[in-house]
Amino acid sequence: MRIELINLPFSTDIRRRLDPPLYLLQLAPVLIEEGFRVRVNDLNGIDSSGWTFGHCLFYLLYVDVRGFEVAKTVAQLCKQANTKGIVVVCGSGPSKETVKYVKSIEFDAVIKGEAEAALLNYMEAVIQPQFTNDQKVFSAEVDNINRLPLPARDLVEMNTYARRLAGNRAVMIMGSRGSPFRGTWLCRGLKTFSVSRIMNEIDEVVKRYGVKGFLFGDECFTYDRVRALDIGKAMAERKLIFGFNDDIQRVNIPLYKSLHELGGKEVLLNFYNKRDMNFGRSIQSKVEKEAKLRVTLKQEAKYRESSLAK
């Protein structure tokens, strides 16, 4: 049984194709273990004239909050590829605006939260007699994320992604899910991968792709100071460089100094309002001077309907 996992675009600019769709690459090996034939189709950075879709029974669309109209267009194209195909949506858009997606005739089901568990529940419901047409929303959480297989990066062309760190090719790693401060669309709290599991993933990437730089995409890499240092020490043992995301209110220059000594090169500080932005600007030069880390400030994108579907 074939299933196509589709990452919707936020840009047609190939230069903004920084990272592969890790959410889908983490889901893919779970489906493969269940006997599905999986294709990962990343539309980001590709003009709509270059989109192609296979003849599959299931199409899973990953959609952020900017992509409702684009998702409808892609769903229609999937139905053209297979008129009997089933289109399912997941991601921050469907999870935050569930009703809008449920009411849309283009989508057969909505997956909320962690798809590794919820999507399999949906598949079982479709196959088994208990499935009802009025049931469109499926939600579940993974009990132990450390039992998940490593992301299937071999399902995409890794050389098409342009992530760089200190001038070197780099790969994003997700060391945790969710947020230590608030519930997220993905899960209710913070879930962390073990340090050994993270390093197993990094070792595989180094062996397969020869990459020496990594960006930890966690919402707050330093929330657990001891864990952050343990990861840094493991990176230093392998002579690898890294960058990390952090909450702007968690800036800790002594800790940043230690991470720099272990191979840290860059910190991306997330902020959510003007007050945070002003604080970030005031401390940016201090962090760069004292901790020797390059600082980037990143604000959560405001909702804007994409023009890609027009």
Give the pLDDT confidence score for residue 141 in this predicted structure: 87
Contact 260, 292 (CB under 8 A): yes
Contact 258, 280 (CB under 8 A): no
Give the pLDDT confidence score for residue 132 in this predicted structure: 57
pTM recorded for the entire structure: 0.89
Contact 58, 111 (CB under 8 A): no
Give the pLDDT confidence score for residue 301 in this predicted structure: 37
Helix (H, G, I), strand (E, B) or coil at 216: strand
Calculate the alpha carbon distances from 197 to 171, 189, 245 in Å: 16, 20, 19
Instruction: Domains for the chain: give ranges and CATH numbers.
Output: 2-144 (3.40.50), 163-299 (3.20.20.70)
Give the pLDDT confidence score for residue 131 in this predicted structure: 54
Give the pLDDT confidence score for residue 231 in this predicted structure: 98
Helix (H, G, I), strand (E, B) or coil at 59: strand
Q: Which residues contact 189 (CB under 8 A, 6 or more apart)?
A: 178, 179, 180, 183
Q: How far apart are CA 1 and CA 217, in angstroms?
A: 32
How remote is the C-alpha of 134 from its chain's centroid? 30
* Single-letter amino acid code for the residue at 36: F
Crossing angle of helices 253-261 and 225-237, in 10° steps, is 20
Q: How far apart are CA 269 and CA 63, in angstroms?
A: 24
Q: How far apart are CA 53 and CA 41, in angstroms?
A: 8
Tokens of 166: 């200190």
CB atoms within 10 A of CB 98: 16
Q: How far apart are CA 103 and CA 51, in angstroms?
A: 26
Contact 204, 248 (CB under 8 A): no
Q: pLDDT tens per residue, the chain (310 residues)? A: 899 999 998 877 777 789 999 999 999 999 999 999 999 999 999 989 999 999 999 999 999 888 899 999 999 999 999 999 999 999 989 988 999 999 999 999 999 888 998 888 888 777 665 555 567 899 888 989 999 999 999 999 999 999 999 999 999 999 999 888 877 888 888 999 999 999 999 999 999 999 999 999 998 999 999 999 999 999 999 999 999 999 888 899 999 999 999 999 999 988 777 777 777 788 888 999 999 999 988 764 332 223 333 2
CB atoms within 10 A of CB 150: 14
Q: How far apart are CA 60 and CA 115, in angstroms?
A: 10
Nearest to 148 by CA among 289, 267, 30: 30
